[in-house]
C-alpha cells in the first residue's frame, strides 16, 4: 500500500480547515485499498468538543460499514491523535494507525501516552509514524504563526 | 449540590440500556443546578464505536450551550470513563467529573490512567468518585451475569 498517496489525501482534508479557521488536521480511513471515510477538524464550526477529524472519520466509517468494529481498516491522520481520539481508535478495533507528525504537547500515540499500544486495554493497534511529516508539520506551524499575527 | 440526586438520574439513564442490550452506562451534565444533557450508551444501537454515554452527553451539552467549552459544568456518570471519554472531557474543559464505580480493566480516571488530572495536558478536572457506587456496580455486574447465561 502506498502510504504517501493516502497521507496526501489526509493533508487535502486538513487544508479544508484553513477556510474555516480550524486547526488543520485531516483524517481518512481506508479498507481494502478504498477510502471509506474522510474528515477534517470541525470543532469550531460544529461547536463540539468531540469534533476532531479522527472522531468524525470513525463515525463515518462505522456508518459506511454498518457496525462499530473497523476491523482491517487503516486510519491516516496528519497529526498524532490526542487521548480522546487514541481511545476512540482502540474502541473501534481499527487495525493500523498511520500519522504524519507528533504532537509533543498532547499526543497519545507515543508522545505523552501510547494508548493504542497499551497491553492492558482490549485491543492494540499497529502504528506507523512520520509519513509526509514535514508537510503535515508545516501546515500546523504556518496556521499557528498566522493566528499569532492576527491576535 | 446533592451528588446522589444527580447520580440517581444518571443511573436511570443507564437502565435504559437494558432494553437495548447495551452495556448499562448513563451520564448527565449539570450546569448551575440544571441538567443540560442526559445520555446512555448506544454503541450497538447506533453501530458507532464512539457512542458511549459520555460522548453523547458532551455532544448534547455543547449543543445546549452553543459552544464546545463546557465551563463550570459537572458530569455525573455511572462508570469511570475510558481513555476516549476521559480525553473528551479534557477537550471539553468540563470542571468536575463525578463517577459511580471504577473500571479496573479500562478506566482512565484513576485506574489504568488518570487523563483528567494530567498536569501535562491543557486542562485538569476535579474528580469525585464512589457516589452510589454499589448501585452503579451492581447494574453492570447483573448485566454481564445475564449476558453470560444467554451465551
pLDDT tens digits for range A96-136: 999 999 999 999 999 999 999 999 999 999 999 999 999 99
Collapsing DSSP states into helix, strand and coil, what is residue A48? coil
Q: Nearest CA to CA, how far is A83 from chain B (Å)?
A: 5
Q: Which CATH superfamily is domain A3-140 in?
A: Cytidine Deaminase, domain 2 (3.40.140.10)
Question: In this complex, do A50 and B51 lie within 8 Å of one another by their Cβ atoms?
Answer: no
Using an 8 Å CB-CB cutoff, list residues of chain A that contact chain B.
43-44, 46-52, 55, 58-59, 62-63, 66-70, 82-88, 90-93, 105-106, 108, 112-113, 115, 118, 120-122
Q: Which of B54, B60, B119, B135 is catalytic?
A: B54
pLDDT of residue A8: 98
Q: Which residues of A touch B86 (CB under 8 A)?
A: 83-84, 87
pLDDT of residue B34: 97
Task: Report ipTM for this prediction.
Answer: 0.96
SS3 B17: helix
Ranges of H-type helices in A20-112: 43-46, 53-65, 83-92
User: If 0-12 CB within 10 Å is exposed, 13-18 middle and 19+ buried, where does residue B14 land?
Assistant: buried
Per the annotation, the verdict on B119 as an active-site residue is no
Residue-wise pLDDT for A56-82, tens only, equals: 999 999 999 999 999 999 999 999 999
Active-site entry in A12, A54, A119, A126: A54
pLDDT higher than threshold 90 for residue A150: no
* Interface test with chain A among B65, B70, B84, by most A beta carbons within 10 Å: B84
- The three-class DSSP label of residue B96 is strand
Closest partner residue to B62 (CB to CB) among A48, A58, A63 is A48
Q: What confidence category does residue A85 fall into, taking pLDDT thresholds of 50, 70 and 90?
A: very high
CA dist B46 and B59 (Å) reads: 15
In the predicted structure, residue A151 carries a pLDDT above the cut 80 = no
User: Where along chain B do its domains lie?
Assistant: 3-140
Is A85 in Cβ contact with B87 (below 8 Å)? yes
Residues A2-13 have a mean pLDDT of 97
Q: Which residues of chain B have pLDDT under 70?
A: 1, 151
Q: If you measure CA to CA, which chain B residue comes closest to A83? A: B87
Distance CA(A127)–CA(A117), nearest Å, equals 8
Return mean pLDDT, chain A. Answer: 97
Question: Confidence band (pLDDT; 50, 70, 90) for A149?
Answer: confident
Amino acid at each position: 500500500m502506498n502510504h504517501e498517496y493516502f497521507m496526501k489525501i489526509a493533508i487535502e482534508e486538513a487544508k479544508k480547515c484553513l477556510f474555516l479557521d480550524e486547526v488543520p488536521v485531516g483524517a481518512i480511513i481506508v479498507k481494502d485499498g478504498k477510502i471509506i471515510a474522510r474528515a477534517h477538524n470541525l470543532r469550531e464550526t460544529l461547536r463540539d468538543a468531540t469534533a476532531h477529524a479522527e472522531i468524525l472519520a470513525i463515525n463515518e466509517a462505522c456508518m459506511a460499514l454498518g457496525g462499530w468494529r473497523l476491523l482491517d481498516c487503516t486510519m491516516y491522520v496528519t497529526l498524532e491523535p490526542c487521548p480522546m481520539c487514541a481511545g476512540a481508535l482502540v474502541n473501534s478495533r481499527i487495525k493500523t494507525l498511520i500519522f504524519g507528525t507528533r504532537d509533543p504537547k498532547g499526543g497519545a500515540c507515543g508522545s505523552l501516552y501510547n494508548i493504542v499500544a497499551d497491553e492492558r486495554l482490549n485491543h492494540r493497534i499497529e502504528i506507523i509514524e512520520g509519513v509526509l511529516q514535514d508537510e503535515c508539520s508545516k501546515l500546523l506551524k504556518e496556521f499557528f504563526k498566522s493566528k499569532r499575527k492576527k491576535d
